[in-house]
Amino acid sequence: MAEYEKSQRSDEYYHPGGVDAERAAGGSNSDKKEPADEGNYTVDSASDYSANEKRDLQKGLSQRHLSMIALAGSIGTGLFLSLGGSIATGGPLGSLLAYFFIGLIVCAVQFALGEVTALVPVTGSFVRHSELLADPALGFALGWNIVYGNWLSVPSEISAICVLIAFWRPDLNASIWIVVFIVITAMVAFAKVRYFGEIEFGFAIIKILLIVGLIIFGLITACGGIKGVERVGFRYWKHPGPFVPYIAEGSWGRFLGFWAVLINAIFSFSGAESVAMAAAETRNPRQAIPKAVKRVFARITIFYVLSVLIVGMLVSSDDPRIQDDSGTAATSPFVIAASAAGIKAIPSIVNAVVITSAWSASNQALLAGSRVLYGLAVKRHAPRIFLRTTSWGVPYVAVSTFILFSFLAFMSLSSGALTVFYWFINLVGCGVLISWSAILFNHLRLHAALRKQGISPKRLPWHNAWTPYASAVGLFFTILLLLTNGFRVFTKGNWSAAGFITSYLDIGLVAAAYTIWKLVKRTKWVRLEDIPLESILREIERNPEEPDNQSKGWIKIISWLWD
């Protein structure tokens, strides 16, 4: 709280030369007037753009934390519980191709995010980048969409934890667990960001150990390495077959099955973009974030592709058990295989790790959402009260709003209230595709500005010659998937108002927020020649980061995960 008074002395964000230049010019912070049009502004250096973060936040995260946070965010219930549903929808080969394809899109998104964030490492990541590279109104719309989605994600993950615990103790009152997890989530959120990083690091290690163990177990089981269990190999690829017709028959039905799994896979991979949300709280972000994104997409893709391959060997696509939507370990294809092998411990192990996954997702939603809210307040897209920070650099007002919203988890105790709660959640059902599209669009705008200003991309802190092409292709497919993610409701006999809203209303919400802010504040698209790339690059060259320390000693044994 002591930092808040300091933050009120001036608004360095709007002054081209920063607070020192203002003092030299004879002005005082108390006499400073607001700009006539705060919807349109320019900055002349990287320091001006990140002045608030440098002053109020603390750099408690390292590249090790970033890599494992992104891994922890992406390896969750989608991997442990939902792969069976993908096999049932698209078949083993259809699912394998779909997850591999989405892995390539994630690669484009991660590298685009890494290049832009290495240039401008600010809290709020691509939301703030949209303000700088495109239009302040776009940053407003994207930011509030993420804040709203995460306001609901925290209680939904806590509700999921209660369902998972009921796998063991259905007799216990769920309200007890809701209170417990709200309290411990709040404790993590208000602690120093370094402690959050260490907790997520631990969760990621647990998840990786489990998924590696399950992949090895599944391979041994499928190959007949467990006594009393018949070797299946690729039997289910032959019968019922590598693809499953979905909605229609023949080749068109098999393609629709593949496309439906593509959409499922997107939500399984969601969370990888969180690697840069706390860039301003990261040590040496221009080195740490590029290293993290390079490793994250590869490891996530490998884990998912191998898991889909193994699951396609373990269970048949027409097995009714993999279509169960109870939300507990009973739905996991790995648990189904373990039950057939007579191994009783695996269901409880999987359920326990999935509980840590849900809590990890809750922590990450709170961190990402509160930092985006802080970033919105920096530009006055949100009330300035959200800029208040503790003496150890936590935006406590922003965090507190997310804690208050977490009490919505009590709605899960009533069937009627739960229906309303999930309607709220469905309003941002396609938010991940909107975020990915924004990341790729920001990257393309950056390279267009470089060309317009005659600046070589080689001057960027991190650059890859192929990424502009990957971003263009990735943007095309993310928009295509965004427009077709609810295709089922347009097929004969499958119309559903709820399904349509889940799939498309978020597009309208973002468009409405963008339009309203643009009309009210009269914002303009930032001209490519006005983006202050030269001054930002010069400042980076004047203030190089210290080289990162390499892992030493026994930690090097597992450091391949993040180094």
CA 508/CA 132 separation, integer angstroms:
23
The confidence band for 255, taking pLDDT boundaries of 50, 70 and 90, is very high
**pLDDT of 46 above 60:** no
Tell me what percent of the chain is helix, strand and coil, each rounded to the nearest 5. Answer: 70, 0, 30
In a domain, residue 51? The reply is no
Q: Under 8 Å CB-to-CB from 257, ≥6 apart: which residues?
A: 89, 90, 91, 94, 243, 244, 245, 246
Residue type present at position 185:
T
In a domain, residue 21? The reply is no
CA 121/CA 539 separation, integer angstroms:
13
Q: How many CB atoms lie within 10 A of CB 202?
A: 14
What pLDDT shows up at residue 325?
61
The confidence band for 17, taking pLDDT boundaries of 50, 70 and 90, is very low
In a domain, residue 547? The reply is no
Per the structure, the complete domain to which residue 452 belongs is given by 56-541
**pLDDT of 29 above 50:** no
What pLDDT shows up at residue 48?
52
- Computed over every residue of the chain, the mean pLDDT equals 82
In a domain, residue 291? The reply is yes
- Across 168-177, 347-356, 387-396, the highest mean pLDDT is recorded for 387-396
What pLDDT shows up at residue 67?
77
Q: What angle do CA 47, 466, 129 make, to 5 degrees?
A: 30
What pLDDT shows up at residue 386?
94
Q: Which residue has the higher pLDDT, 460 or 223?
A: 460
- The mean pLDDT value for 130-145 works out to 94
Q: Under 8 Å CB-to-CB from 181, ≥6 apart: which residues?
A: 158, 161, 359, 362
Q: Which residue has the higher pLDDT, 203 or 26?
A: 203
The confidence band for 361, taking pLDDT boundaries of 50, 70 and 90, is confident
**pLDDT of 49 above 90:** no
In a domain, residue 22? The reply is no
Q: What is the pLDDT of residues 470-479, one digit of tens each?
A: 999 999 999 9
State whether residue 278 is helix, strand or coil: strand
Sequence-distant contacts of 333-341: CB under 8 A, at least 24 apart = 333/83, 333/84, 333/87, 334/80, 334/214, 334/217, 334/218, 336/84, 337/217, 337/218, 337/221, 338/217, 340/221, 340/229, 341/221, 341/226, 341/228, 341/229
- The mean pLDDT value for 128-141 works out to 93
Among 87-91, 112-116, 157-161, which stretch is predicted with the lowest mean pLDDT?
Answer: 157-161
Tokens of 558: 């597992």
The confidence band for 144, taking pLDDT boundaries of 50, 70 and 90, is very high
The confidence band for 245, taking pLDDT boundaries of 50, 70 and 90, is very high
DSSP assignments along 202-250, one per residue:
HHHHHHHHHHHHHHHHHHHHHTT-STT----TTHHHHTT-S----SS-H
Q: Under 8 Å CB-to-CB from 84, ≥6 apart: which residues?
A: 311, 315, 319, 321, 322, 323, 331, 332, 333, 336
Q: Which residue has the higher pLDDT, 333 or 102?
A: 102
| Number of domains into which the chain is organized | 1
The confidence band for 328, taking pLDDT boundaries of 50, 70 and 90, is low
DSSP 459: G
What pLDDT shows up at residue 60?
80
**pLDDT of 324 above 90:** no
**pLDDT of 336 above 70:** yes
Residue type present at position 520:
V
CA 451/CA 468 separation, integer angstroms:
12
In a domain, residue 559? The reply is no
Quickly tell me which residue has 């991979």 as its tokens: 269
- The mean pLDDT value for 232-245 works out to 90
In a domain, residue 554? The reply is no
The confidence band for 34, taking pLDDT boundaries of 50, 70 and 90, is very low
pTM attached to this predicted model: 0.86
**Whether 256 contacts 243, CB under 8 Å:** no
In a domain, residue 308? The reply is yes
User: Across the strands, what pairs with 61?
Assistant: 282
Q: Which residue has the higher pLDDT, 547 or 393?
A: 393
CATH of the domain at 515: 1.20.1740.10
